[in-house]
């Protein structure tokens, strides 16, 4: 039986931040988004221990160790297979959120983390490098699903005036995941040889907490009404998330969208690509997701230790300096989160790409001139900080938020599939190709000059392709 609603006069729909909204944003980001950042950085600290494990396993199996090239290839596969799993997960996200719902997808995907954690945690006991690689692949699938489902879920439960703030919460937790891996990877904590399987398998702890609490929260009200046609559950969910706020106008707005989409099924990726009505929105998603990965942030992480070493920082202390850059990521993410509603989406993206491009050019210049001017090595350290801050303020999180805002309910799952797939393909391309490209370019300055061009070329795409969400849909 449908619920009867008294429709109030139409006015601007606003709401305040309730404890329920904040709790679900933190819970989904802590148990899903943070694992993405953690898995990006977790293999850096124990790299030599993992390689040694691969080599000793080969000796016990075949009586001979692995040569240098094969060992490097196996470790590269361990790192890059995470992105392959992420690509597979991103291709599945549209189907999963339509079938299981937004929250249901986040909850059900936790089983992948427990599988991956078990594989990596018991790999040394079983003497199986394959378990490490397979575990990385499985956790990549989970991250691919999470990077689509979590922003979609938060974007649909958030009121319009808080959508930007809540939409960037996952990016803060991604930075927190990187920071956690850097801290736990210190030699004083889990950075010892005997601890690396535990270090890799710690992902199960945040997921377990999420699994215990998230099922008690309601599903996305928009999904319940528009796709499941359950008015009673929609009202219950909105009351949960809005507390004492008036929900009548929001229900009316969703019912209008439901009527407009009554004759339209959820579109497939192919239908989305052929739809001329969403061409500019789709172009915006393509530019932002590709630009996010090709902006040079991975190149910076590749050269960070060398830059810090050139600046005169002692080798044993570089790991602590790297942890400091992780803290800068979190601070920059918080700045973006608290300013996005005032400044807008496009200024954060343009400002972030501009800062990254200028700082990449600054590092290029400092690497060339530091032979003649020793103080330039400190300029390069400052530019590293600028690149990291610029990335985390805008390009790190805004693309996922904008995808939710630019598309209607019927197009949103396919849009996240397209954006996520391009994001992960670019991630894999950079991670796999860059180490081979760098020796050919000979100088790291040439590499950074290349990514600086990518940042500058991305600016027109953001400026022209992204409408700044002025014509946002619900």
Q: What's the topology of domain 19-217?
A: Growth Hormone; Chain: A; (1.20.1250)
pLDDT for the residue numbered 253? 82
Class of residue 39 by CB neighbours under 10 A (exposed 0-12, middle 13-18, buried 19+): buried
Rounded alpha-carbon distances, angstroms, from residue 103 to 99, 142, 223, 231 = 11, 14, 10, 18
Rounded alpha-carbon distances, angstroms, from residue 358 to 277, 437, 438, 458 = 36, 22, 21, 13
Residue with tokens 């989160």, as numbered in its chain:
337
Per-residue pLDDT 10s for the chain (474 aa) are: 344 333 344 445 556 788 899 999 999 999 999 999 899 888 888 888 998 999 899 888 887 877 877 887 888 888 888 989 999 999 999 899 989 999 999 999 999 999 999 999 999 999 898 999 999 999 999 999 999 999 999 988 988 888 888 989 999 999 999 899 989 988 888 888 889 999 999 999 999 999 999 999 999 998 898 888 888 898 888 888 887 677 788 788 888 877 776 666 778 888 888 888 888 888 888 888 887 777 767 666 656 666 777 667 777 777 788 888 888 889 998 998 888 888 888 888 888 888 888 887 887 788 778 778 877 778 878 888 888 888 888 888 888 888 878 888 788 888 888 888 888 888 777 766 665 655 555 445 545 555 445 444 544 444 444 544 443 433
Choosing among 3.20.20.60, 1.20.1050.10, 3.40.50.2020, 1.20.1250.20, the CATH entry for 267-474 is: 1.20.1250.20
Ranges of CATH 1.20.1250.20 domains, the chain: 19-217, 267-474
Q: Are 335 and 393 in contact (CB under 8 A)?
A: yes
Question: CB atoms < 10 A from the CB of 12, how many?
Answer: 7
CA distance 474 to 408: 7
């Amino acid at each position: 039986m449908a619920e009867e609603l008294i429709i109030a006069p139409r006015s601007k729909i606003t709401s305040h931040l309730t404890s329920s909204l904040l709790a679900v944003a933190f819970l989904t980001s802590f148990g899903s988004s943070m694992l993405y950042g953690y898995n990006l950085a977790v293999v850096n600290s124990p790299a030599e221990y993992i390689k040694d494990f691969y080599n000793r396993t080969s000796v016990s199996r075949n009586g001979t160790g692995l040569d240098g090239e094969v060992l490097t290839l196996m470790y590269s596969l361990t790192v890059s297979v995470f992105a392959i799993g992420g690509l597979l997960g991103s291709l599945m996200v549209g189907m999963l959120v339509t079938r299981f719902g937004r929250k249901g997808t986040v909850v059900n995907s936790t089983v992948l983390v427990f599988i991956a954690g078990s594989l990596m945690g018991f790999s040394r006991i079983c003497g199986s490098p394959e378990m490490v690689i397979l575990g990385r692949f499985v956790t990549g699938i989970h991250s691919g699903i999470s990077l689509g489902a979590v922003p979609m879920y938060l974007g649909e439960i958030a009121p319009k005036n808080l959508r930007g703030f809540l939409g960037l919460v996952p990016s803060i937790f991604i930075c927190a995941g990187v920071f956690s891996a850097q801290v736990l990877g210190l030699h004083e904590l889990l950075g010892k040889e005997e601890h690396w399987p535990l270090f890799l398998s710690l992902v199960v702890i945040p997921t377990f907490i999420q699994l215990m609490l998230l099922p008690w929260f309601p599903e996305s009200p928009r999904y319940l009404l528009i796709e499941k046609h359950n008015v009673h559950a929609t009202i219950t969910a909105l009351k949960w998330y809005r507390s004492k706020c008036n929900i009548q106008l929001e229900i009316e707005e969703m019912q209008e969208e439901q009527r407009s989409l009554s004759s339209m099924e959820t579109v497939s990726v192919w239908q989305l690509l052929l739809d001329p009505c969403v061409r500019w929105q789709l172009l915006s998603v393509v530019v932002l997701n590709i630009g996010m990965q090709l902006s040079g942030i991975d190149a910076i992480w590749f050269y960070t230790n060398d830059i810090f070493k050139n600046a005169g920082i002692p080798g044993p202390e570089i790991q602590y300096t790297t942890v400091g850059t992780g803290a800068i990521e979190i601070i920059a993410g918080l700045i973006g989160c608290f300013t996005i509603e005032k400044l807008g989406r496009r200024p954060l993206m343009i400002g972030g790409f501009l800062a990254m491009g200028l700082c990449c050019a600054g590092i290029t210049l400092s690497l060339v001139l530091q032979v003649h001017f020793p103080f330039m090595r400190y300029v390069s350290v400052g530019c590293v900080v600028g690149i990291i801050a610029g990335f985390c303020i805008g390009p790190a999180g805004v693309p996922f938020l904008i995808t939710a805002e630019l598309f209607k309910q019927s197009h949103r799952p396919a849009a996240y599939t397209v954006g996520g797939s391009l994001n992960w393909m670019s991630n894999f391309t950079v991670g796999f190709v860059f180490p081979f490209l760098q020796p050919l370019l000979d100088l790291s300055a040439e590499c950074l000059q290349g990514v600086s061009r990518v940042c500058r070329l991305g600016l027109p795409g953001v400026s022209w392709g992204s409408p700044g969400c002025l014509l946002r849909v619900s």
